[in-house]
Structure 1
Amino acid sequence: MLKDQQEMIISKYAELYDILVTKDNILRQIKELVDFSFILAEIGKNYNSTQGRGAEDPIRMFKYLMLKDMHEISDEDLVERTRCDMSFKYFLDLAPEETNLIHPTTLTKFRRLRLKNEDILDKLIGKTLIIALENGIKLGKALVVDATHTRAKYHQKSMEEVLLERAKKLRRDVYQVDETMKGQFPQKLVNPSLEEVIGYCDEVAQVVESNARLSIRENIKKRLNYLKEGLSDTQAALEETGDYEARVGHKSVDDPFFGYKTHISMTEERLITAAVITSGEKPDGAELQTLIEKSQANGIEVEEVIGDTAYSGKENLEYAEEKDIKMISKLHPIISNGVRNEEDEFTFNKDANLFVCPAGHLAVRKARTGKKNTNTNQTMTYYFDIQTCKKCSQRQGCYKEGAKSKTYSVSIKSKAHEAQMHFEETEYFKTRYRERYMIEAKNSELKNQHGYDVAISSGLFGMRVQGAISIFNVNIKRILTLIKQNKGE
């Protein structure tokens, strides 16, 4: 049950915060900048207002998730650090002497039950842009677009390997302290099932927990918490669904990844205006129109879009022309010139420079066919692994039984998209296209400072929550920087 009003905490030690949490502390700055009461309006409907025991303050729970995102620590270590970190307590509106903190599992429940709004990502981005405008920050009329990759928490092989790796690292740290512990752990498994791995890892955790001399050591404690959190998330994933939504995508022809994509648009002031999260195999360009429309819904007047060749597809160019938007995106010879009469679901992956079939399989090679300087257009033919096609779950209507090869061809017309080709040659296009680099830095910030290179939970829902918190954090931090710049600090 959600309480009608938030509790005010009064402490005779509150003045400690003025001494220990200085004005340049990032958490103090965020707290002074953001009125977090909007959280109640956004997620309050996910609580029962009349039944059940009193719920933890949703604002404080949301702030806990912000701290977790900023510091890349487990739920248990986050709560433990809050006990002694005055800046954490100040940010969370706790009294300096407060010791009765939440149980770490409360954060897991909050993520799954209270942030289930489908539009939570859009709402949080929109809120940051409102804060920017309220602080006199101009958002401009140009968008820079790109997609960043996030590897799944459990890689393509299995969840078993992830859990066993965590257990192995925990045992290794224990042995460094006490080699006699080797005889107290359960026997290592051979070709185990997931259920056997869960049982094994649970036993390993119990052995360490029962030995107070080991479990109080900081490095062992962190390994133990990491293993226990993995066990909890695995069990939750098994209960929620047996289908995993991560898919194989390609950063290049030789660099596949298993996970998700976050398609992002941002202003030239480096504020993210919209994001769409998909499985890893989805093409970048297909989300452009959605990013533009979401940005417009957040109050951005879009006159230009700057992006790489993934966004120069025919549909996007036609859409931009219809909406009177300049497309600062170089044409790819295949995307811009490739034409097929029938509608299909094959998509072009600009990173691998190959087509991807509807099932997500990448072509293995390509070849140009046809003769030059004839009345017949040449074609680019893409070849797929026939053995993969034979076993594919979507082979019906795509693979012909008994066929010795599977190909996909597009026509190459050198004179297509002449207007865009001409635009590319202008000095204006060349100057504006150089601005595309800034979104690469934003992707790097998400991954290196907020742990966005790896998903912290399973499924698209978990990825949306992670994206919502991370993007909210990076936007708020950027707003603080812009405010300082505007003040000349």
Structure 2
Amino acid sequence: MLKDPSPQQHELEMVTLEELVPSNHLLRQIEAALDFSFIRERVRHLYCADNGRPALDPVLLFKALFIGYLFGIRSERQLMREIQVNVAYRWFLGLRLTDKVPDASTISQNRRRRFSDSTIHQEIFDTIVEQAIAQGLVGGEVLYTDSTHLKANANKHRFERQEVETTARDYLDALDVAVEEDRAQHGKKPLTPRAEAPATVEKKISLTDPDSGYMVRDGKPTGFFYLDHRTVDGKHAIITDTHVTPASVHDSVPYLARLDHQCQRFGLAPVGVGLDAGYFTAAICHGLEERGLYGVIGYRRPSKPKGYLPKRAFTYDAATNTYQCPEGQSLIYATTDRHGYRHYRSDPKICRGCPRLATCTRNAKQIKTVTRHVWQDDKDRVDARRLTEPGKKLYQRRKETVERSFADAKQLHGHRYARMRGLARVKEQCLLAAACQNLKKIAQARWRRLFGTFLRHLRADRALQRALYPTMGRSRAMRVVSQAASVRLL
């Protein structure tokens, strides 16, 4: 029989938040795994001790932001509306059912005024990583690094062209020394010193978000983006570093500095690193070899004009310091340029009669030039590891660590788009998103350990379970033993 439901919305019920929040809820696992009270101490100097109106608890404020990133709520106004009606969110924030939810403007004004010039977001991320290290979730032996793009909140058609100073790269001093040593070994004169005035290049600057960079990459969308350069530990995929740059900055530029930063900050002593093909540069390979790291970098087939001989067709002879062309001619060393490349040139008299001249060079003087970097030996050693069995195993873990980390960030934590404008604001977003992903990893690891302990207690009580079979049946006996194991675990 079909009946109309009776109204029950206004009945008085005696309930508590503890009863309403499931015991296996993600927020319960996170609250049990980490202590967030450190936030209050880190920001205490930003508040007045004895004057003004009572401030919103900073722990509550950052916990609310964590909820937004954990559950992919991009809007702070929408976040406050969700906290208003979600009892699990209220429980996590320490709010009662009748407590007023903070206004969205309270969060935004605290971010803009109180925390704008502070390093609290970096400190929160670092402290969570330290807690993961203390719980044994970070091995530090193998680190994987990659970058992903976040679409800037800017119209790609609204820009102006400006001459921008090129950033001096950290390895230029070391490269200059290597070039001078190489030229001296070959009896060449020293090069003139680099110009003190920085070089400039024309770039597209967004009129909406000038800090973003215009990205033009194969297989990637064009427009104004930011890059999140992320490093993930190989043990449990804990994120150990995140660094934000405009999308016009190459992946390899900040890599070595950020690697040194996290090793110094957390006391990590990596043995190997895994990188994709975008990091396969002479400077990166040289830096890894200098640090004694087992670097494995992906391979990208070099582009060449269609129908022309590739560079790999020319064989380098280290004993004679020459290149051998497919027809047997030796290409002799000519010079080393400022960018660190040695030039090896052929004899035009021999090349004029070569049957492969049309597919070898376009030079009007029939001279073939092959270049070799002064750090090419380091590149060759790193590239050779890619084909070894340990190198293959190390590189295969990339898709389970850093690539999976980015996939989760984009799919679950709103990492496809920059929520705010400006490099500092996007850095806050990336730090909080990475911190939330680490929170999930830590909570899940703790839950797995507890479940494993529960199973060990359960197996220890199998004798009791078999003894109860005749009196109460199999299913009830299993339920009684499981409850007993849970009590022993707690």
Q: Which bin holds the TM-score, normalised by the shorter protein?
A: 0.5 to 0.7
Whether contact under 8 Å (2:214, 2:222) holds in the other structure is: yes
Give the drift of 1:145.
Answer: 0.6
| Correspondence for 2:25 | 25
Say yes or no: does 1:467 pair with 2:463: no
| Correspondence for 2:253 | 286
Whether contact under 8 Å (1:251, 1:257) holds in the other structure is: no
| Correspondence for 1:180 | none
Give the drift of 1:139.
Answer: 2.4
With over 3 angstroms needed to count, the CA separation of the structure-2 counterparts of 1:105 and 1:416, relative to structure 1, is closer
Give the drift of 1:76.
Answer: 2.2
| Correspondence for 1:330 | 298
* Distance in 2 (alpha carbons) for counterparts of 1:487 and 1:271: 20
Q: Percent identity?
A: 21
5 Å matches for 1:58-457? Answer: 58-69=58-69, 70-98=71-99, 100-117=100-117, 119-157=119-157, 244-252=210-218, 255-268=221-234, 269-296=236-263, 297-330=265-298, 341-342=337-338, 376-378=368-370, 417-438=379-400, 439-457=402-420
With over 3 angstroms needed to count, the CA separation of the structure-2 counterparts of 1:413 and 1:20, relative to structure 1, is closer
Give the drift of 1:25.
Answer: 0.9
With over 3 angstroms needed to count, the CA separation of the structure-2 counterparts of 1:154 and 1:51, relative to structure 1, is farther
For residue 286 of structure 1, give the secondary structure of its aligned residue in structure 2. coil
* Distance in 2 (alpha carbons) for counterparts of 1:149 and 1:340: 36
Give the drift of 1:320.
Answer: 1.2
Whether contact under 8 Å (1:378, 1:412) holds in the other structure is: no
* Distance in 2 (alpha carbons) for counterparts of 1:460 and 1:47: 25
| Correspondence for 2:173 | none
Whether contact under 8 Å (1:304, 1:325) holds in the other structure is: yes
Whether contact under 8 Å (1:377, 1:412) holds in the other structure is: no
* Distance in 2 (alpha carbons) for counterparts of 1:59 and 1:429: 44
* Distance in 2 (alpha carbons) for counterparts of 1:426 and 1:458: 44
| Correspondence for 1:391 | none
* Distance in 1 (alpha carbons) for counterparts of 2:387 and 2:72: 45
After superposition, the C-alpha distances for 1:358-396 in whole angstroms (9 at most, x for unaligned) are: xxxxxxxxx99557xx984247xxxxxxxxxxxxxxxxx
| Correspondence for 2:345 | none
Give the drift of 1:270.
Answer: 0.7
After superposition, the C-alpha distances for 1:12-42 in whole angstroms (9 at most, x for unaligned) are: x996122111221111221222211111232
Give the drift of 1:138.
Answer: 4.2
With over 3 angstroms needed to count, the CA separation of the structure-2 counterparts of 1:451 and 1:158, relative to structure 1, is farther
For residue 149 of structure 2, give the secondary structure of its aligned residue in structure 1. strand
After superposition, the C-alpha distances for 1:393-447 in whole angstroms (9 at most, x for unaligned) are: xxxxxxxxxxxxxxxxx98999783323433332221221111112111101111
Give the drift of 1:250.
Answer: 3.4
Aligned pair count?
340
With over 3 angstroms needed to count, the CA separation of the structure-2 counterparts of 1:457 and 1:254, relative to structure 1, is closer
* Distance in 1 (alpha carbons) for counterparts of 2:147 and 2:125: 16
With over 3 angstroms needed to count, the CA separation of the structure-2 counterparts of 1:62 and 1:414, relative to structure 1, is closer
* Distance in 1 (alpha carbons) for counterparts of 2:239 and 2:259: 12
* Distance in 2 (alpha carbons) for counterparts of 1:158 and 1:101: 39
After superposition, the C-alpha distances for 1:146-205 in whole angstroms (9 at most, x for unaligned) are: 00110012332359xxxxxxxxxxxxxxxxxxxxxxxxxxxxxxxxxxxxxxxxxxxxxx
Equivalent AA in structure 2 for residue 259 of structure 1: F
Give me the CA root mean square deviation. 3.3
For residue 229 of structure 2, give the secondary structure of its aligned residue in structure 1. strand
Give the drift of 1:488.
Answer: 4.6
Whether contact under 8 Å (2:297, 2:383) holds in the other structure is: no
* Distance in 2 (alpha carbons) for counterparts of 1:434 and 1:78: 38
* Distance in 2 (alpha carbons) for counterparts of 1:428 and 1:18: 50
Give the drift of 1:329.
Answer: 0.9
* Distance in 1 (alpha carbons) for counterparts of 2:224 and 2:53: 41
After superposition, the C-alpha distances for 1:50-106 in whole angstroms (9 at most, x for unaligned) are: 4432221111111111122223142222222222211111111112221x2222111
Larger deviation, residues 43-52 vs 317-326: 43-52
With over 3 angstroms needed to count, the CA separation of the structure-2 counterparts of 1:42 and 1:414, relative to structure 1, is closer
Equivalent AA in structure 1 for residue 286 of structure 2: E
With over 3 angstroms needed to count, the CA separation of the structure-2 counterparts of 1:318 and 1:305, relative to structure 1, is same
Whether contact under 8 Å (1:312, 1:330) holds in the other structure is: yes
Larger deviation, residues 305-314 vs 71-80: 71-80
Equivalent AA in structure 1 for residue 288 of structure 2: A
Equivalent AA in structure 1 for residue 425 of structure 2: G
Whether contact under 8 Å (2:418, 2:426) holds in the other structure is: yes
For residue 31 of structure 1, give the secondary structure of its aligned residue in structure 2. helix
TM-score (norm 2): 0.62
With over 3 angstroms needed to count, the CA separation of the structure-2 counterparts of 1:112 and 1:414, relative to structure 1, is closer
Give the drift of 1:109.
Answer: 0.9
- In structure 2, the gaps of 5 or more residues are 1-12, 160-206, 304-310, 313-334, 341-358, 453-490
TM-score (norm 1): 0.63
Whether contact under 8 Å (2:144, 2:232) holds in the other structure is: yes
For residue 143 of structure 1, give the secondary structure of its aligned residue in structure 2. strand
With over 3 angstroms needed to count, the CA separation of the structure-2 counterparts of 1:90 and 1:325, relative to structure 1, is same
With over 3 angstroms needed to count, the CA separation of the structure-2 counterparts of 1:310 and 1:103, relative to structure 1, is same
For residue 154 of structure 1, give the secondary structure of its aligned residue in structure 2. coil
With over 3 angstroms needed to count, the CA separation of the structure-2 counterparts of 1:147 and 1:109, relative to structure 1, is same
For residue 395 of structure 2, give the secondary structure of its aligned residue in structure 1. helix
Larger deviation, residues 419-428 vs 437-446: 419-428
5 Å matches for 1:38-57? Answer: 38-57=38-57
Equivalent AA in structure 1 for residue 407 of structure 2: S
* Distance in 1 (alpha carbons) for counterparts of 2:23 and 2:79: 23
For residue 253 of structure 2, give the secondary structure of its aligned residue in structure 1. helix
Whether contact under 8 Å (1:368, 1:378) holds in the other structure is: no
Larger deviation, residues 149-158 vs 61-70: 149-158
* Distance in 2 (alpha carbons) for counterparts of 1:254 and 1:368: 32
* Distance in 2 (alpha carbons) for counterparts of 1:311 and 1:139: 23
Equivalent AA in structure 1 for residue 105 of structure 2: T
For residue 80 of structure 1, give the secondary structure of its aligned residue in structure 2. helix
Whether contact under 8 Å (2:154, 2:209) holds in the other structure is: no
